[in-house]
Structure 1
Amino acid sequence: METKTTPAAGPLAGLKVVEMGQLIAGPFAAKTLADFGADVVKIEPPGAGDPLRSWRLLKNGTSVWWQVQSRNKRSVALDLKNAEAQEIVRKLAAEADVLIENFRPGALEGWNLDPQQLVEMNPRLVVLRISGYGQTGPYRDRPGFGVVGEAMGGLRHLTAEPGRVPVRVGVSIGDTLASLHGVIGILMALHERQRSGQGQIIDVALYEAVFNCMESLLPEYSAFGAVRGPAGSALPGIAPTNAYPCSDGGYALVAGNGDSIYKRLMAAIGREDLGNDPELANNAGRVKRVAEIDAAIGAWTKSRTVDEVLEVLDAASVPAGRIYTVADIAADPHYAARGMLQQIRLEDGDTLTVPGIVPKLSRTPGGQHRNAPRLGQDSEAVMRELGLTGEQIAGLKSRGVIKGEQ
């Protein structure tokens, strides 16, 4: 279904956001706010703009990723090394509810845009700062990308087959986790602002966002000296949960780790002997004999296709699934029924399928009301909103302070 361009709506309608980030962490946070109605003014450098515009696969010279990451935003091209451009940012911040940035600590201060001073100028301003290591501490000045944060946060050590090199998750999960933690921080700060009338600065470090999702990693080390290692496709300490090979070359993910689920699984694969074994009635006993259980399940799946395995396990109410490629996602009826495969129309008239809006709110859902902007598409409109005259805008353009559309 084609997405129509409609006025911004949603639970964050009326919220003014200035986005000064680039690539993933800051822009993903701003995208999430924009999806739910916030007016996001994205500041980009003149010239090439946000580097994400040219990342990965391009269509008509622009990344299709850009169409997702910058939907619902407005673009203003500003040369932040210029004092006049810095003054424009201060004017925007003076009227904003939220400012988001993900530069290395000290970058904003180097542009005479110290967030603490911006908050003093606009006491209601909420500032989100995302960086590799945070705004304080001995590592604060190190360059920190998502992959480094994932490694320091403990995730990369776990993403491997035992004895093999740890691998990347496959997407920039560290950046995205930091973004989502940032959005949570923004919403909490806005909620608190309703009582105090005061904004504040939110400090999110990539490695801490990853570390916050590491479950029992640290307390297990603290209590037992246990260093959790990579477990491949298995779920360590919980059995049975694994990926099992099938006759068509695919894998079936089977999660039979609940006590009653385990008994249904064993009945479904014809191994009631294991299902009724009192030593395997609980997780602790199953973990001790996980190799035996995995071998029994694997022997059963190897003689069946993925579809055949899932049909049997679905009928037995055992959680199971296939490993989806993006082609599987695009063809899946559940994705479509949930509105997760949205169609947008690009400027060249072609349609593009993009991810739908998450989370789903029953009364005030988010949506896409505007395609990702061209570089500087909204520079002049935003300047007029700040009260600048046409003559002043023309002067800023002639001096290279701002860039409008060519």
Structure 2
Amino acid sequence: MTGALADIRVVEMGQLLAGPFCGQLLGDMGADVIKIEPPGAGDPMRLWGQGDDKVQWEVIGRNKRSVTCNLRVAEGQDLARRLIGKADVLVENFKPGTLEKWDLSPAELHRENPGLIIARMSGYGQDGPYSDRAGFGGIGEAMGGWRYIVGEPDRPPSRMGLSIGDTLCATYGCMGILAALHHRESTGEGQIIDTALYEAVLQVMEGLIPEYDHNGIIRERSGSILPGIAPSNVYQCKDGPFMIGANKDEIFARLARAMGQPELATDERYATHLARGRNQTELDALVNDWTSQHTIEEVDAAMIAHSIPAGRVYRAPDMLADPHFRARDAIVEVETERHGKVKMQNAFPKLSKTPSGIFRPAPAEPGQHNAEVYGELLGIDGAERGRLADSGII
């Protein structure tokens, strides 16, 4: 393993999305991520995704070593405690109180490993009146304000087609881990990072709270637009949709020239940001009337020529065919153990000195690295591993 975190060992506990995505981010940066899975089927993420062959696991399981451990029994808990004692970071996304029930509380773990950083991800956080409630990403999106504002105004709240609540929570958890590692460098102290699904979503809600508090405005669903930000929308060309963002004064003036209607830039209805916001609907109609007379290729060329932020509305095939994606290695082909060569998004962000990457494919089976990890790290020999396996511990 290489990368900025190549000297960091992470134990990942928990299932489904938030904890495993945080582990993926750390692994992409080079950390040695040891994923604890329950004996047998392993993490349910192994069965997630669309199509007959479930390949989502190949992304979220990459750069990890898998060991099995039955955390519901005392011997399994002791095994996990020993493993965590060798780690720099523990990532977990169980319901609050679960670690404590298993005698793996932060206080207990810090007694044995005072430099341990413990990232805890849950629906509502580790304290507060809702902390003992079950929580999924979609609930965090709803309570954090995301779901209410997504969709068309005349329809019920919608979703964006991805588990954004989980991945936001994981990303903030990863950010907290990096900050805690920096703190540990100067103090030697570990600490606890408490991330809640709903609070992670709340963090990206921009002005939603102060707009209500100060102006009494409740944001509503607005479909494909942001109210008052115009023109910035998906417009229809002869052969499909195309995104244009020209809401800044000078950029709008360039768009007006590209449309062959330079007078729009000085029209009092559209000359300023506030005026365009007030007349957003009719302005969008004007832009759409123009784009509908041209192909995507023609509109794209005009936007490039006039230096206007714009882009095609991509699906997966478009991404795979795009030369810019290829030039930046945004998508890479990985030789997986279960499915052969699979294309997936590359590690991100890009670091110039300690580049991230995909250093190992996702483990094909739960416990694939039991011998490697338990043997080398904890000194458990083959006979003892056999006994643990026969007992259902690993």
TM-score, L = length of structure 1: 0.94
For the pair 1:31 / 2:21, whether they are aligned, the reply is: no
- 1:71 and 1:258 map into 2 onto residues whose CA distance is 41
Q: 2:314 aligns with which of 287, 311, 324?
A: 324
Hey, what does 1:155 align to over in structure 2? Answer: 146
For the pair 1:53 / 2:46, whether they are aligned, the reply is: yes
Hey, what does 2:11 align to over in structure 1? Answer: 18
Residue 349 (structure 1) shift? 7.5
5+ unaligned residues in a row in structure 1: which ranges?
1-7
Residue 68 (structure 1) shift? 0.8
Hey, what does 2:200 align to over in structure 1? Answer: 209
Residue 398 (structure 1) shift? 2.0
- 1:82 and 1:349 map into 2 onto residues whose CA distance is 34
5+ unaligned residues in a row in structure 2: which ranges?
none
- 1:399 and 1:386 map into 2 onto residues whose CA distance is 18
Q: 1:110 aligns with which of 90, 98, 101?
A: 101
Hey, what does 1:355 align to over in structure 2? Answer: 345
Residue 275 (structure 1) shift? 1.2
Residue 219 (structure 1) shift? 0.6
Hey, what does 1:5 align to over in structure 2? Answer: none
Residue 179 (structure 1) shift? 0.5
Residue 304 (structure 1) shift? 1.4
Residue 58 (structure 1) shift? 6.2
Contact 2:269 2:279 (C-alpha < 8 Å) held by counterparts:
no
For the pair 1:283 / 2:273, whether they are aligned, the reply is: yes
Q: 1:396 aligns with which of 379, 383, 388?
A: 388
The amino acid that maps onto 2:384 is: Q
The amino acid that maps onto 1:245 is: Q
Hey, what does 2:326 align to over in structure 1? Answer: 336
The amino acid that maps onto 1:386 is: L
- 2:338 and 2:45 map into 1 onto residues whose CA distance is 20
Residue 267 (structure 1) shift? 1.1
Residue 95 (structure 1) shift? 1.3
**How big is each residue's C-alpha offset from its partner over 1:159-210, in whole Å with a ceiling of 9 and x where there is no partner?**
1111212111110011000010000000001101112111011100001000
In structure 2, relative to structure 1, the CA distance for the partners of 1:127 and 1:349 (3 Å cut) is: closer
Residue 356 (structure 1) shift? 0.7
Residue 344 (structure 1) shift? 1.4
Q: 2:378 aligns with which of 370, 374, 386?
A: 386
Residue 270 (structure 1) shift? 1.8
Contact 2:228 2:276 (C-alpha < 8 Å) held by counterparts:
no
Which piece of structure 1 moves more, 392-401 or 330-339?
A: 392-401
Q: 1:170 aligns with which of 157, 161, 166?
A: 161
Residue 389 (structure 1) shift? 2.6
The amino acid that maps onto 2:368 is: Q
In structure 2, relative to structure 1, the CA distance for the partners of 1:58 and 1:346 (3 Å cut) is: farther
SS of residue paired to 1:47: coil
TM-score, L = length of structure 2: 0.96
- 1:241 and 1:59 map into 2 onto residues whose CA distance is 38
Contact 2:77 2:102 (C-alpha < 8 Å) held by counterparts:
yes
Which piece of structure 1 moves more, 284-293 or 195-204?
A: 284-293
Q: Aligned-pair RMSD on alpha carbons?
A: 1.4
Hey, what does 2:247 align to over in structure 1? Answer: 257
- 2:199 and 2:281 map into 1 onto residues whose CA distance is 34
SS of residue paired to 1:375: coil
For the pair 1:295 / 2:288, whether they are aligned, the reply is: no
- 2:175 and 2:114 map into 1 onto residues whose CA distance is 20
How many percent identity over aligned positions?
A: 49
In structure 2, relative to structure 1, the CA distance for the partners of 1:42 and 1:58 (3 Å cut) is: farther
The amino acid that maps onto 1:343 is: E
Hey, what does 2:358 align to over in structure 1? Answer: 368
Which piece of structure 1 moves more, 347-356 or 65-74?
A: 347-356
The amino acid that maps onto 1:264 is: R
Q: Tell me the matched-pair count.
A: 392
In structure 2, relative to structure 1, the CA distance for the partners of 1:148 and 1:376 (3 Å cut) is: same
